[in-house]
């Protein structure tokens, strides 16, 4: 696909001069194109400047970092939070930190930042669960489990009831990547941290990119204060540039905007799901904006009709093709009606044309 002539919002303009309805990307709440949110970012630049060129461990640092971390704890219910310049950096530092003390097990479909040195060995989630159970039964070492809080590729939920049966005679730490949930799922969009009750012998850590629904170029780790303190003291954290303060200003003051955009997104999701025809073929979760389909021809058909879906091989060009329709809070009722009409027309084609 050619590079867009503009950044995507509700629509995107490609170099061919044609405007397409944008049903891709990860800006689920659309705050990047919201005038009120942009005003907060501008306020942040005016107050803090364009960049803080220093370490979070230096003798002087803006207090916006501690304020933003306190806000994230208040919102999610986490004991402590630590901000990074990206979710990828947060994941790499967390994985390296835990690998020195825990036997690490990586669920399939994890972001590469959490793999360690090699991709997960398990081919599917059930195989990974069996792997963890066998290990726990024969090896007494502490265990660190890494998994997605929500599967944004195939729109599948986290299945973790089996954790109750793991032994309680050693530390077990569960790290969830909530990059595609925070801002959307959980109470007030607070994501996975407080979304469910975990076994008492299990310690929960959540990491997330804030650059998706929340529109903030940063990452965060949420978890116990002792763990966060040990990561904060590490040379990797001290040597890394922190996030741009201006965007943290927007995060700190943007709660009403996030709430408004989340309501708009929920309205569009419900309009879309309620109007889906029978045998539509999508896999999706309640109140979640990602809709996976194995009918890869849908992407080409929709592009001809002026709609761009998400379609790419992941995590590398040699992997399986993934086709999804993704909604965002910028979409209108008319956009959803258009998508319904185009989908029904596509489903009226002969089966061989829908493969």
User: Tell me, which fold does domain 11-34+256-354 have in CATH?
Assistant: 3.90.1150
Phi, psi at residue 77, to the nearest 5°? 90, 5
pLDDT at 308: 96
Would you write out the chain's pLDDT as a tens digit for each of its 355 residues? 566 657 899 999 988 889 999 999 999 999 999 999 999 999 999 999 988 888 788 778 889 999 999 999 999 999 999 999 999 999 999 999 999 999 999 999 899 999 877 888 888 899 999 999 999 999 999 999 999 999 999 998 888 889 988 998 999 999 999 999 999 999 999 999 887 778 888 999 999 999 999 999 999 999 999 999 999 998 888 888 899 999 999 999 999 999 999 999 999 999 999 999 888 889 999 999 999 999 999 999 999 999 999 999 887 787 889 999 999 999 999 999 999 999 999 998 888 777 7
Contacts of 348 (CB under 8 A, 6+ apart): none
Spans of all domains in the chain? 11-34+256-354, 52-243
The set of residues, in sequence order, having a beta carbon less than 8 Å from that of 280 and lying 6+ positions away, is: 343, 347
pLDDT at 4: 61
β-strand pairing of 202-209 with 219-223 = antiparallel
Enumerate residues 6+ apart whose C-beta is below 8 A from 207: 87, 90, 91, 94, 175, 176, 177, 178, 179, 219, 220, 221, 222
Contact 40, 34 (CB under 8 A): no
Cα 33 to Cα 37, 49, 332, 337, 338, distances in angstroms: 8, 21, 14, 22, 22
Three-state DSSP class for residue 162: helix
> CA 9 to CA 316: how far, in whole Å?
26
The listed CATH number (3.40.640.10, 3.30.1490.190, 3.60.15.10, 1.10.1040.10) that belongs to domain 52-243: 3.40.640.10
CA-to-CA separations, 352 to 301, 308, 349, in angstroms, rounded: 13, 22, 8
């Amino acid at each position: 696909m050619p590079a867009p002539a503009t950044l995507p919002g509700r629509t995107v303009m490609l170099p061919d001069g044609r405007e397409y309805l944008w049903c891709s990307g990860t800006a689920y709440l659309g705050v990047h194109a919201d005038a009120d949110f942009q005003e907060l970012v501008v306020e942040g630049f005016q107050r803090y400047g364009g960049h803080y060129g220093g370490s979070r461990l230096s003798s002087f640092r803006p207090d916006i970092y501690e304020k933003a971390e306190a806000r994230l704890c208040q919102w999610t219910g986490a004991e402590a939070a630590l901000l990074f310049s990206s979710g990828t950096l947060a994941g790499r530092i967390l994985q390296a930190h835990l690998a020195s003390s825990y036997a690490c097990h990586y669920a399939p479909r994890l972001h590469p930042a959490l793999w360690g040195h090699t991709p997960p060995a398990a081919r599917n989630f059930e195989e990974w669960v069996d792997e963890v159970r066998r290990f726990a039964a024969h090896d007494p070492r502490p265990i660190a489990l890494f998994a997605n809080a929500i599967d944004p590729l195939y729109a599948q939920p986290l299945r973790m009831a089996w954790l109750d049966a793991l032994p309680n005679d050693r530390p077990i730490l569960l790290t969830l990547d909530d990059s595609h949930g925070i801002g959307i799922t959980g109470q007030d969009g607070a994501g996975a941290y407080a979304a469910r009750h975990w076994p008492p012998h299990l310690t929960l850590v959540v990491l997330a990119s804030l650059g998706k629904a929340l529109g903030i170029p940063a990452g965060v780790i949420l978890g116990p204060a002792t763990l966060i303190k040990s990561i904060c003291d590490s040379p990797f954290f001290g040597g890394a540039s922190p996030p741009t303060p201006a965007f943290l200003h927007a995060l700190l003051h943007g709660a009403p905007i996030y709430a408004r955009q989340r309501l708009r997104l929920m309205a569009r999701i419900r309009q879309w799901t309620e109007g889906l025809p029978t045998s539509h073929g999508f896999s999706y979760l309640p109140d979640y904006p990602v809709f996976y389909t194995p009918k890869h021809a849908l992407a080409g058909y929709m592009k001809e009709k002026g709609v761009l879906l998400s379609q790419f091989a992941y995590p590398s060009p040699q992997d399986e093709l993934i086709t999804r329709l993704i909604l965002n809070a910028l979409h209108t009722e008319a956009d959803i009606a258009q998508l319904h009409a185009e989908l029904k027309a596509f489903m009226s084609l002969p089966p061989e044309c829908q493969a």
